[in-house]
Amino acid sequence: MVKKWGIAVLLLFGLYALAMYFYIFYGNDGGIPAALQGTVADPATFMTKKELLLSEDYAKIRNFLFFVATPFEWLMYFFVLISGASLLIEKWSDFDMKWKVVKNAIYLFLLLILTFVVFFPLDYYRYNLSKSYGISTQSFSSWMRDNVIDFWVNFVITVLVVTVLYWLINKSPKKWWIPAWLLTIPFSIFIMFIQPVVIDPLYNEFYPLTNKELETKILELAEQANIPSDHVYEVNMAEKTNALNAYVTGVGSNSRIVLWDTTLNRLNEEEILYIMGHEMGHYVEKHIYIGIAGYVLMMLVGLWLISKMMPWIINRFGHVLKIKDVKSIHSLPLILLLSSILLFLSSPISNFVSRYQEQRADEFAMELVQDPEAAVSGFQKLTKAGLSEVNPPTLVKWFRYTHPPMLERINNVAEYMEEK
In a domain, 60, yes or no: yes
Please list, residue by residue across 215-238, b when 16 or more beta carbons sit within 10 angstroms of its beta carbon and e when fewer do: beebbebbeebebebeebebbebe
Cα→Cα distances 196→202, 210, 250, 259, Å: 10, 18, 6, 13
In-domain check, residue 226: no
Has residue 385 been placed in a domain? Answer: yes
Instruction: Kindly report which listed range (87-91, 114-118, 158-162) carries the lowest average pLDDT score.
Output: 87-91
pLDDT band at 1 (very low <50, low <70, confident <90, very high): low
| Residue 261 placed within a domain | no
CA 342 from chain centre, in angstroms, equals 15
- Predicted confidence at residue 325, as pLDDT, reads 83
Distance CA 180, CA 234 (A): 36
Distance CA 103, CA 95 (A): 7
State the DSSP H helix or E strand holding residue 271, giving kind and residue range, or none if neither. helix 269-284
Catalytic residues: 279, 362
Half-sphere exposure (Cβ direction) of 394: Cα atoms closer than 13 Å: 3
Name residues whose C-beta falls within 8 Å of residue 339's C-beta, 6 or more positions apart in sequence. Answer: 302, 306
Q: Is the pLDDT of residue 167 over 80?
A: yes
Would you list which residues are annotated within the binding site? Answer: 278, 282, 358
* Binding site residue list for Zn(2+): 278, 282, 358
Query: How crowded is residue 276: how many other Cβ atoms within 10 Å of its Cβ?
Result: 24
Percent of the chain beyond pLDDT 70?
Answer: 96
- Quickly state the pLDDT bin for 336 (edges 50, 70, 90): very high
For residue range 11-37, list pLDDT tens digits in order: 999 999 999 999 999 876 667 888 888
223-229 long-range contacts, CB within 8 A, separation 24+:
224/368, 225/277, 225/280, 225/283, 225/284, 225/368, 226/284, 227/280, 227/283, 227/284, 229/257
Residue 310 is assigned to a structural domain of this protein? yes
| Cα distances (Å, whole numbers) of residue 198 to 147, 183, 195, 328, 415 | 17, 21, 5, 32, 42
Helix (H, G, I), strand (E, B) or coil at 233: strand
In a domain, 70, yes or no: yes
Q: Decide if 219 is inside a domain.
A: no
Q: In the sheet where 206-208 sits, what is the strand order?
A: 206-208, 233-235, 256-260, 246-249
Domain of residue 12: give its range: 2-204+286-419
Q: Total domain count for the chain?
A: 1
Q: What is the pTM of this model?
A: 0.89
Residue 366 belongs to some domain of the structure: yes
Distance CA(170)–CA(162), nearest Å, equals 12
* pLDDT on residue 338: 96
Tell me how far apart the alpha carbons of residues 140 and 132 are, in angstroms, rounded to a whole number.
13
- pLDDT tens string 262-303: 999 999 999 999 998 998 898 888 888 888 889 899 999 999
